[in-house]
Structure 1
Amino acid sequence: MTATPPPLDAGLLDAVAHGAHHDPHSVLGLHATGDGDGGTDWVVRTRRPLADTVVAVFDDGVRVPLTHRHAGIWEGLLTSRPTSYVITATYPDGSEYTADDPYRHGPTIGELDLHLVGEGRHEELWNALGAHLRTHDGVDGASFAVWAPNAQAVRVVGDFNSWDGTGHPMRSMGGSGVWELFVPGLRAGDRYKFEILSRHGAWVMKADPMARRAEVAPGTASVIDDSSFSWGDDAWMKERAASRPAESAMSIYELHFGSWRPGLSYRDAADPLIEYVTDQGFTHVEFMPLAEHPFGGSWGYQVTGYFAPTGRFGTPDDLRYLIDRLHQAGIGVIMDWVPGHFPKDDWALARFDGEPLYEHADPRRGEHKDWGTYIFDYGRREVRNFLVANALYWLQEFHVDGLRVDAVASMLYLDYSRNEGEWLPNVYGGRENLDAIAFLQEVNATAYRRYPGISMIAEESTSFPGVTAPTDHAGLGFGFKWNMGWMNDSLQYIARDPMYRGHHEGEMSFSFVYAFSENYILPISHDEVVHGKGSLFQRMPGDYWQKLANLRAYLAYMWGHPGKQLLFMGQEFGQLSEWSESRGLDWWLLEQPPHRQLQDFVAQLNRQYRAHSPLWSRDADGSAFHRLGAPSWDPNVIAFSRRDHHGNTVAVIANFSGVPLQPFTLDLPAPGVWEEILNSDAGEYGGSGVGNMGIVHADDNGRATMVLPPLGVLWLRHRTPAHIPSPTRG
């Protein structure tokens, strides 16, 4: 062994000692010197401030005493070929600590991963970046990788180093902007963050953008996660892959997890949610955002942990358990996803490495004035990759069956909610956000390629063309679009006194003009029962009975209208008060017969809807829809028929006036017997019991005379010969 290792510059050692160097591994760890007599010597360096003695103990039994050189950095020489080693340090109080050294380990992220990150094409980015428990070089620990291209230095801080990152600086992985470090001995549940030295010399402490678990608010740390969940939904996933959602029944129950039944965890909710949704007949649940968010009053729409399910209700595996149970019960799961903006919390994505990174640097494109949030820089390939991979993460790792993309209109238009002079046109001088459009096309095309049978759903409130058109036809590539026009018009109509509705029939029927231009979902969502709008029940005109009758008629019309259905929790039983995330639903209303009857009616709606394919199999096919209205058309009556691929037909006849119409003559699409499969005015649902004894007869020309109940909707199924029982011989 030679006397001393080659000297290093004191400034370099100072930077490494203080965790402020971009490549600490170039100094610390084991390095060949080439200074041996006729061979290679090896220098081992480690940082052990305040130690009395430090020894490198190799697996082959060799012990190399180290000498303190500068600022807590110790070093020594080894002349034989080294093996793995640990560092033993003694301190003035007589204590002794032995530990593996992070800086003896090679990188845990490979060249292909770095290349894909740099290209913005890493479809499983969560497997490359973030924190991952692994065995590396035969040692158990956690690897960390983070994208921070503007940083001078990055350190890992956490419970394991008492939140002092000077001993755990990360190494820069070159032009990719990625920083990496493997820390031996860490376990699932350990909390951590990244400390980032900006170009301007300021240290900022940030949660991990790729963290798969996070502290429960008000805590803001990231948490090392290790999933051990075993899925049991193989049959569901196989069936989903072969499905065509646009041609299938879809009736969605939207819920805010924390206020559906307050106090339930993900696991606690499985049994009651499955029982309730099954009894009500919905095909899917849609969860308002479950990604981590610091402020509960944002309902999850101001996300800080895009890859971390909120810990308010349990662990990520607990959420997997809930979704797995829902799938095994035959219930699909849609999750709200928020790529349109993110909050300005200084410990999260905002100014991540000291300057704009995830957000667009120009406030005319990078800030939402209304919401006080930042807007992603969709034109930056690494940011676009972050968001695309995030969508794929929920589909891959949590088996969700669809993502409802929030506030798409705010992404599509550069002048969204901006005054003249407050927005920057695109390269062609237009208002369309071309980068956001390209991002949406990429995420949809990639999601459908990887996960056939899923549903990508746009909350889009404008007339932007081709939202559900394929990307190879210049469309955005969504599977469905929320029909906000129908929602606004129909709610305006149904809120009117029946006496005046006849003058506003167009508000209810205008949707027929464009109903087949996209694959639509008809949403009565949380947004329609907050901010002073009142509950759906409150928006109905009339006395208590009339409100319930109007509500039943409205829902029956909605379920019969072309498009899939979405109903926010509580409206299925006539929630009286406006929804608030801070309290639960008014479940006590179910002790009152009228509200229990409304709940039963919604369950029957779903049963009949699912049982009759004309109501869902050709939602976007205008040739399967026929408006009815002759000969005795009445402006308070809106009627139409729908047909499936096999010729089966259902007629929907709505009387939005406050009086029964009898006799009422209507030309139906075919002669013969029409069976009344649904009557919103039936006595069992709290109605007046006006109807047609279950049967309507149409003559050879299809003309039928019937009774239309007040504030009521009928569904009539045409009985083909196969549906008509043979006569009984006397």
Structure 2
Amino acid sequence: MSSICYHLFLHPASSRSSRSYTKASRCPGISQLQSTSLQNASNKLPFHYSFCYPHKLHRKFQAVEPSFAISTMLKDTTVENAENIGVLSVDPSLEPYKDHFIYRSKRYFEQKALIEKYEGSLEEFAQGYLKFGFNKEKDGIVYREWAPAAQEAQLIGDFNGWNGSNHKMEKNEFGVWMLKIPDNGGKPSIPHNSRVKFRFKQSNGTWVDRIPAWIRYATVDPNQFGAAYDGVYWDPPPSERYEFKHPRPPKPISPRIYEAHVGMSCPEPRISTYREFADDVLPRIRANNYNTVQLMAIMEHSYYASFGYHVTNFFAVSGRSGTPEDLKYLIDKAHSFGLLVLMDVVHSHASNNVSDGLSGFDVGQRTQDSYFHTGERGYHKLWDSRLFNYANWEVLRFLLSNLRWWLGEFQFDGFRFDGVTSMLYHHHGINIAFTGNYSEYFSFTTDIDAVVYLMLANCLVHRLLPDAITIAEDVSGMPALCRPLSECGIGFNYRLAMAIPDKWIDYLKNKEDLDWSMQEIVHTLTNRRYTEKCIAYAESHDQSIVGDKTIAFTLMDNEMYTGMSDLQPASPVIDRGIALHKIIHFLTMALGGEGYLNFMGNEFGHPEWIDFPREGNSWSYDKCRRQWSLVDTDHLRYKYMNEFNRAMNLLDDRFSFLASAKQIVSIASDLDKVIVFERGDLVFVFNFHPEKTYHGYKVGCDLPGKYRVALDSDAFEFGGHGRVGHNVDHFTSPEGIPGVPETNFNNRPNSFRVLAPARTSVVYYKVDENAERESEEKAAAEDATILAGDSNTEV
């Protein structure tokens, strides 16, 4: 038996991204594995993949010149107390890049100081929605729009018959157009829920109509094919406004995230609503012991099949699923269940749609007068989308205000930032194979403007809501991405462990079961920066899209159509598929990070794939829904995967192993196909061998005492074969000489023996014998009292 002991503290991150609407491949970074084996050696294990990715105002609109990007000018400058840059003490190997951190820190503090000087504070700056867009002021509605390139401007809509001749706007010297529409008889001249647009004249004399940039709701005529979206003035009367009834739940020790798309959450082939999701899906999420919901595709996007990643209207909820008040109902109900709600926020790019998107405000002006960079720098060639100019004051106002809007108005509890790799580098990660060399992260290819924006964003979010959760989707493994701002980190709480799902798909598609390397699997799962927390997942929405397959469908494929009935014996394919589905997801959760994520339906092995309605499938919704009846039908085997998923989360609820810094792998045997590790005080035993069951398999542990089964994937209630005895006590034996680790068993001071069935995972917990003894004594005393009572009755 070969064995190796891995320690938690690994070095650079390995993470890999996929963007669902491109055909591009991605690449993770390299990691340096720090082992606690007998040699205590540090091994570099490189993995290579090809990867492709995807002016300033104060209250009186005083202009301030933008700063230079590092790619334009890198000065040899210092920051006061620069030696206190904390990330250097956390990771001394970053010392050669100290000047980069100094420059980054200087740029961040300078930008923040300017905001505070001209706007009062970062928090006030991020309330742009109180000035821009539509706002009720005394005796009327005031509408403001930043459009420096416009020569003339009007407000048009239902309220004026789409004739703006009587609603011309005035422009100040800073490119901000303004119009006040007086009330009519004490009532707003623009009725609630009426359509509006911003009409302006370009430099060539052409008039164009655009949806206001700060619009809070947008709709499209569902009866007209290819109809353009219209902005909607949203100001419901008090009787129609949703009032939150429940406080935000406490922040969980470790997030167990349920990633969901509201539109495809109903069983019928149609678009589901926020209220349906709240009433029908949230109870399922809570019943499965998740503590966090991550909602995709909330920001309005005119192209449904973009999965919400081509945003057109940043302050508007996706109108396909309901109104802003409906979304508030959903979030409030989630809070009533004790669920945090995260939003998948897209600030890495914007839809290039002109008629209904922010891109329509770009009419060939200078970059300082636009939301986006001009020329090639402003266009993502793989995503076919526009790229923000993060050095622009008004872009900062727009994006930071966007975060505050969703946090405040809708009570979101944090964000998952999409496409962070594209933001961090001028090359956007396109065709870049990150090798883990630190020079790849800290060079002229780093987009410091974007880095500063992300630092400001994390500063703002955590000032407004100290318990907020921010998650970065980064494939490159950028060091210090998830270190605090006080250390000159970028300030995220978590990063996605993006290499993990690709490893599983590679194994399932390209390797026979006996060719699986336990050491390689362990390396992938533990290959992360030890001081930066990760969200692990075996599969997300990215692995579910058309052209790919979920883990369940990869394992069982067409037999899922005929072999899932529990009224007949399981075929070898189904038996293998359910067994591996359980232990793949569980191992990922237990060893892959400090949090866990599951995409809607994968908890019970939802078959097939996701295919949004499009011309290529005749605009069908058949593959864009969730068939909950599969897991609700008692005679189908989907229930077993669902029950095990629920039990996984319950195990963390009880033992909080995800939050434990104690993570030690003592066995990763390619011969036995066995992985044994400790997380917290739990001992996990995974046997991936397709045939061999090991009797009396010796496993190491830290603490001496008595161990019992806490969770068994082979239990009957999880569709297993019931081979493991749950009432068996496992007593430890000491190993080696106390205090001399090299004499221990796999570097563990104690051991006990277990039954390890093929394709099974079993978790053992240490029995608190003092508590058990007290419980037994209490039970005996109660029994004696009952007997005494019976005796007295007889007398």
Change (3 A) 1:221 1:230: closer
Q: How big is the shift at 1:694?
A: 4.0
Q: How big is the shift at 1:212?
A: 0.8
Partner of 2:54: none
Partner of 2:452: 438
Residues 178-577 of structure 1 aligned to structure 2 (within 5 Å): 178-184=177-183, 185-216=189-220, 218-227=227-236, 228=238, 229-234=241-246, 236-237=247-248, 240=250, 243=251, 248-261=253-266, 262-347=270-355, 348-352=357-361, 354-356=363-365, 357-416=369-428, 418=430, 430-493=444-507, 499-503=513-517, 505-514=519-528, 516-523=530-537, 524-540=539-555, 543-561=573-591, 562-577=593-608
User: Is the partner of 1:514 in helix, strand or coil?
Assistant: coil
Equivalent of 1:599 in 636, 642, 653: 642
Q: How big is the shift at 1:439?
A: 0.8
Q: How big is the shift at 1:395?
A: 0.8
Q: How big is the shift at 1:181?
A: 2.9
Q: How big is the shift at 1:445?
A: 1.0
Mean Cα displacement is larger for which, 512-521 or 678-687? 512-521
Inter-partner Cα distance in structure 2 for 1:518 and 1:675 = 32
User: Is the partner of 1:432 in helix, strand or coil?
Assistant: coil
User: Is the partner of 2:501 in helix, strand or coil?
Assistant: helix
Question: Alignment length, in residue pairs?
Answer: 594
Within the alignment, does 1:163 sit opposite 2:162 as a pair?
Answer: yes
Inter-partner Cα distance in structure 1 for 2:325 and 2:689 = 52
Partner of 2:754: 706
User: Is the partner of 1:112 in helix, strand or coil?
Assistant: coil
Inter-partner Cα distance in structure 2 for 1:283 and 1:657 = 33
Asked whether the equivalents of residues 345 and 417 of structure 2 are also in contact (C-alpha less than 8 Å), the reply is: yes
Higher strand share: 1
Partner of 2:626: 585
Asked whether the equivalents of residues 406 and 458 of structure 1 are also in contact (C-alpha less than 8 Å), the reply is: yes
User: Is the partner of 2:179 in helix, strand or coil?
Assistant: strand
- Which letter does structure 2 place at the counterpart of 1:715? V
Inter-partner Cα distance in structure 2 for 1:267 and 1:249 = 27
Higher relative contact order (CA 8 A, sep 6+): 2
Asked whether the equivalents of residues 148 and 352 of structure 1 are also in contact (C-alpha less than 8 Å), the reply is: yes
Inter-partner Cα distance in structure 2 for 1:301 and 1:197 = 30
Inter-partner Cα distance in structure 2 for 1:599 and 1:465 = 36
Q: How big is the shift at 1:703?
A: 1.5
Asked whether the equivalents of residues 171 and 181 of structure 1 are also in contact (C-alpha less than 8 Å), the reply is: no
Residues 142-153 of structure 1 aligned to structure 2 (within 5 Å): 142-153=141-152
Asked whether the equivalents of residues 672 and 700 of structure 1 are also in contact (C-alpha less than 8 Å), the reply is: no
Inter-partner Cα distance in structure 1 for 2:449 and 2:58 = 28
Inter-partner Cα distance in structure 2 for 1:673 and 1:374 = 60
Partner of 1:112: 59
Change (3 A) 1:477 1:671: same
Q: How big is the shift at 1:441?
A: 0.8
- Which letter does structure 1 place at the counterpart of 2:416? R
Partner of 1:691: 724
Equivalent of 2:653 in 610, 622, 625: 610
Q: How big is the shift at 1:711?
A: 0.9
User: Is the partner of 1:204 in helix, strand or coil?
Assistant: strand
- Extract unaligned runs of 5+ from structure 2: 1-56, 63-114, 184-188, 222-226, 433-438, 557-571, 613-620, 736-749, 785-795
Residues 53-132 of structure 1 aligned to structure 2 (within 5 Å): 112=59, 114=61, 122-132=125-135
After superposition, the C-alpha distances for 1:395-417 in whole angstroms (9 at most, x for unaligned) are: 11111111111111111111125
User: Is the partner of 1:350 in helix, strand or coil?
Assistant: helix
Asked whether the equivalents of residues 232 and 328 of structure 1 are also in contact (C-alpha less than 8 Å), the reply is: no
Q: How big is the shift at 1:485?
A: 1.9
Partner of 2:688: 656
Inter-partner Cα distance in structure 2 for 1:307 and 1:685 = 44
Quick check: which has more Rg, 1 or 2? 1
Inter-partner Cα distance in structure 2 for 1:670 and 1:495 = 39
Change (3 A) 1:281 1:302: same
Inter-partner Cα distance in structure 2 for 1:703 and 1:230 = 58
Asked whether the equivalents of residues 132 and 225 of structure 1 are also in contact (C-alpha less than 8 Å), the reply is: no
User: Is the partner of 1:684 in helix, strand or coil?
Assistant: helix
Q: How big is the shift at 1:518?
A: 1.5
- Which letter does structure 2 place at the counterpart of 1:487? P
Q: How big is the shift at 1:503?
A: 3.8
Q: How big is the shift at 1:505?
A: 2.9
Change (3 A) 1:498 1:686: farther
Partner of 2:66: none
- Which letter does structure 2 place at the counterpart of 1:544? I
Asked whether the equivalents of residues 132 and 224 of structure 1 are also in contact (C-alpha less than 8 Å), the reply is: no
Q: How big is the shift at 1:353?
A: 5.4
User: Is the partner of 2:311 in helix, strand or coil?
Assistant: coil
User: Is the partner of 1:716 in helix, strand or coil?
Assistant: strand
Inter-partner Cα distance in structure 2 for 1:199 and 1:486 = 51
Asked whether the equivalents of residues 366 and 376 of structure 1 are also in contact (C-alpha less than 8 Å), the reply is: yes
Q: How big is the shift at 1:175?
A: 2.5
User: Is the partner of 1:320 in helix, strand or coil?
Assistant: helix
Asked whether the equivalents of residues 501 and 656 of structure 1 are also in contact (C-alpha less than 8 Å), the reply is: no
Inter-partner Cα distance in structure 2 for 1:295 and 1:641 = 46
Asked whether the equivalents of residues 117 and 382 of structure 1 are also in contact (C-alpha less than 8 Å), the reply is: no
Q: How big is the shift at 1:267?
A: 2.0
Inter-partner Cα distance in structure 2 for 1:520 and 1:111 = 38
Q: How big is the shift at 1:617?
A: 2.3
Inter-partner Cα distance in structure 2 for 1:499 and 1:266 = 42
- Which letter does structure 1 place at the counterpart of 2:260? L
Inter-partner Cα distance in structure 2 for 1:705 and 1:445 = 50
Change (3 A) 1:496 1:667: farther
Asked whether the equivalents of residues 198 and 212 of structure 2 are also in contact (C-alpha less than 8 Å), the reply is: yes
After superposition, the C-alpha distances for 1:470-502 in whole angstroms (9 at most, x for unaligned) are: 123221111110001233224434556564345
Change (3 A) 1:636 1:495: farther
Asked whether the equivalents of residues 639 and 651 of structure 1 are also in contact (C-alpha less than 8 Å), the reply is: yes
Asked whether the equivalents of residues 677 and 694 of structure 1 are also in contact (C-alpha less than 8 Å), the reply is: no
Change (3 A) 1:398 1:358: farther
Inter-partner Cα distance in structure 1 for 2:516 and 2:162 = 69
- Extract unaligned runs of 5+ from structure 1: 1-109, 644-648
- Which letter does structure 2 place at the counterpart of 1:465? P
User: Is the partner of 1:302 in helix, strand or coil?
Assistant: coil
Asked whether the equivalents of residues 498 and 656 of structure 1 are also in contact (C-alpha less than 8 Å), the reply is: no
Change (3 A) 1:560 1:604: same
Inter-partner Cα distance in structure 1 for 2:704 and 2:666 = 14
- Which letter does structure 2 place at the counterpart of 1:173? N
Change (3 A) 1:498 1:641: farther
Asked whether the equivalents of residues 193 and 222 of structure 1 are also in contact (C-alpha less than 8 Å), the reply is: yes
> TM-score normalised to the size of structure 1?
0.77
Within the alignment, does 1:625 sit opposite 2:663 as a pair?
Answer: yes
> TM-score normalised to the size of structure 2?
0.70
